[in-house]
Amino acid sequence: MKIELSKIVKPSSAPVFLVDDARKIKEHKLFKFLGAEDKDYIVRLFEENGDEEFLRFIVLPSGKKALIGFLKNKKTSLRKMIIAMRRVISLAHREKIKEIAVNLGDFLTAGSKSEEIAELLGTQLELANFEFTGYKTAPKEGWNFVERVFVIGKESSPSKISKRNLGGQALKKALADGKIIGEEINKARALSNTPGGDMTPQRLAEAASREGRSAGFRVKILKEDQIKKLGMGGVLGVAKGSAERPRFIIMEYFKGKKGEKPVVLVGKGVTFDTGGLNLKPDNYIYEMHMDMSGGAAVIHAIAALARLKVKKNIVGLVPAVENMPSGSSYHPGDLLKTLGGKTIEVLNTDAEGRVILADALEYAKKYKPQLVIDVATLTGAAIAALGQRASAIFSTDKKTEKEMIDAGEKTGDYVWPLPLWEEYEEEIKGTFGDFANVGKTRYGGAITGAVFLWQFVKNQAPSSNLQDFPWVHLDIAPRMTTIESDSLAKGAAGASIALLVKFLREANR
Ligand code: BES
Ligand code: ZN
Ligand code: ZN
């Protein structure tokens, strides 16, 4: 989809009118591009509508297609605006409209800059225009994707137009940046939506290599013998039951200052989670091909940051395995020795994400990171706690946590905090190993998962002189798939990419 800044509405494109005051329709930026008859018709439609919110498709007297909407108090709710941006595209999609024209001013909210909204618009339009079609026969008339969006830009104060932004350069860049972020999220959604039979650890590694080549970052893939040599007993343990061999994906993007400590992103890459010998019941096993969504998020967050030419040092680590039941599976009761030497007592083979992440979090320390963030579809309990509208965030550092919650709020990629308290460590004390991979009770499972991971971030090798670093854990299980009210295609939601990109670009790190 092309998204371009424009000064006029071309006759070929369907104009979009989104107002918060029906009486102001005549002052709308796109109104002047309509013929007299169409103008009267639209004014009447808004008058007749009353006080109900709506967004709908209409055909004007001239035969021209248009979208009109009335949203109350829209200026005060960025949340509402994000949904409105997506609904414009999904409506156009439904009505087979290929070209639309929107007024950037319609989406401005109180306190946000035009550039911020333009970037958000670029991303949300892309997200809404995505559908996972790779495995479907194309209809004869082709897919109904929107092909072109003209954005009529709002010059915030024409008197201040300098040579530099005369052509709306800043807005153009904001739209383009937003589009890049949307594209990378969609690529992650496509990876996650790919069925388990086709998305193996090796395929995930190939996807990372491909992205590294096109976006410009280094990718190194560790195969099983190297994983063994390093001593990643967690990764090897979970991988034992599968014919597909594990991979450990390492991505390095070093465009920050020389010597500046990197931010390390760690993503859960379970390409299919059957539960292993603790096999999942049928209604729970469905959709478990998306259990590598954290890994896909890390790959594409780095790709987005590279394409945006962000001047930071960033590392991505994705342990990739398939969790299968077979004669060679790891057993409940197995004791696995992780990279750092700590042992895991496997009480449930379905709590596999934390077992592979233990090795990856230990590996992260090699980089002497300034911050480690892991992303994982870790627990069903996070869904029970939050529903499907926000991912769970846990952190050892309140300031970072607050910055990430804010970044989520600005991008529509919401996160909400749960406690990370030492009291919970009692839950995961092992009997024969250092840590048990499930809690002693069935309560607070999202927290138990987080506290388990924490053990592999903590005690940062007392013998070495490593500095302590803050850590954030994002349990994105609640946002693994979209829900109806997201106004996005069914399937993977691509959670945490917009959030990570916003946070890493803006945070003072
Ligand atoms: N991948 C699942 C968690 C999950 C469930 C993600 C539903 C998305 C949707 C994870 O590996 C898992 O099975 N966790 C168990 C942990 C339990 C055995 C302690 C769970 O949540 O039930
Ligand atoms: Zn599992
Ligand atoms: Zn899992």
Residue ranges of domains in the chain? 2-133+146-153, 183-506
**The dihedral of CA 282, 381, 497, 483: what is its sign?**
positive
Q: Which residues line ligand 1 (CB under 6 A)?
A: 273, 291, 348, 350-353, 377-381, 438, 445, 477, 480
Q: Identify which of 192, 272, 344, 379 to mutate to test ligand 1's pocket (most ligand atoms within 8 A of the CB).
A: 379
Asked if residue 161 has pLDDT above 70, the reply is no
CA–centroid distance, 379 to ligand 3, in Å, is 7
pLDDT tier for residue 398 given thresholds of 50, 70 and 90? very high
Residue 280 appears among annotated catalytic residues: yes
Under 8 Å between Cβ of 323 and 235: no
Q: 46-60, 176-190, 406-420 — which is least confidently predicted?
A: 46-60
DSSP classification of residue 442: S
Asked if residue 234 has pLDDT above 70, the reply is yes
pLDDT for 507: 75
Could you identify the atom of ligand 1 that is nearest to the CA of residue 449? 19
Residue 94 appears among annotated catalytic residues: no
Max Cα–Cα distance, the chain, nearest Å: 82
Could you identify the atom of ligand 1 that is nearest to the CA of residue 348? 18
Taking the C-alpha atoms of residue 494 and residue 479, their distance in angstroms, rounded to an integer, is: 8
Between strands 371-376 and 313-323, the pairing is unpaired
Average pLDDT, the chain: 95
pLDDT for 73: 85
Ligand with minimal distance to 450 CA: 1
Asked if residue 158 has pLDDT above 80, the reply is no
pLDDT for 163: 47
SS3 119: helix
Ligand with minimal distance to 321 CA: 3
User: Which of 29, 87, 154, 354 does the annotation list as catalytic?
Assistant: 354
Homologous superfamily of domain range 183-506: Zn peptidases (3.40.630.10)
User: Which of 210, 245, 255, 280 does the annotation list as catalytic?
Assistant: 280
Give CA 119 to chain center in angstroms.
16
Task: Give the helix, strand, coil percentages of the chain, each rounded to 5.
Answer: 40, 20, 40
Which tens digits make up the pLDDT trace of 173-220? Answer: 999 999 999 999 999 999 999 999 999 999 999 999 999 999 999 999
Under 8 Å between Cβ of 114 and 171: yes
Q: In the predicted model, what is the mean pLDDT of residues 296-306?
A: 99
Could you identify the atom of ligand 1 that is nearest to the CA of residue 352? 11
Asked if residue 157 has pLDDT above 80, the reply is no
Q: How big is the CA angle at 89 (ends 83 and 91), to the nearest 5 degrees?
A: 95
Architecture of domain 2-133+146-153: 3-Layer(aba) Sandwich (3.40)
Could you identify the atom of ligand 1 that is nearest to the CA of residue 280? 13
Which tens digits make up the pLDDT trace of 357-386? Answer: 999 999 999 999 999 999 999 999 999 999
Q: How big is the CA angle at 257 (ends 253 and 259), to the nearest 5 degrees?
A: 90
Taking the C-alpha atoms of residue 122 and residue 495, their distance in angstroms, rounded to an integer, is: 17
C-alpha separations of 76 from 71, 359, 399, 497 in Å? 11, 45, 26, 25
CA–centroid distance, 79 to ligand 2, in Å, is 32
Could you identify the atom of ligand 1 that is nearest to the CA of residue 448? 19
Under 8 Å between Cβ of 248 and 320: yes
Name the residue at shortest CA distance from atom 13 of ligand 1.
350
DSSP string, 171-201: HHHHHHHHHHHHHHHHHHHHHHHS-TTT--H
Q: How many CB atoms lie within 10 A of CB 500?
A: 28
pLDDT for 75: 81
Taking the C-alpha atoms of residue 509 and residue 69, their distance in angstroms, rounded to an integer, is: 41
Name the residue at shortest CA distance from atom 22 of ligand 1.
380
CA–centroid distance, 376 to ligand 3, in Å, is 8
CA–centroid distance, 351 to ligand 1, in Å, is 6
SS3 415: strand
Under 8 Å between Cβ of 115 and 176: no
CA–centroid distance, 285 to ligand 2, in Å, is 9
DSSP β-bridge partners for residue 200: none
Ligand with minimal distance to 270 CA: 3
Residues with CB under 5 A from ligand 2 (ion): 273, 350, 352
Asked if residue 323 has pLDDT above 90, the reply is yes
pLDDT for 74: 81
Which tens digits make up the pLDDT trace of 443-467? Answer: 999 999 999 999 999 966 555 555 5
pLDDT for 193: 98
pLDDT for 468: 86
pLDDT above 70 as % of the chain: 95
pLDDT for 194: 98
CA–centroid distance, 258 to ligand 3, in Å, is 37
pLDDT for 49: 85
pLDDT above 90 as % of the chain: 91
pLDDT for 153: 84
Ligand with minimal distance to 274 CA: 2
CA–centroid distance, 449 to ligand 1, in Å, is 10
Name the residue at shortest CA distance from atom 5 of ligand 1.
380
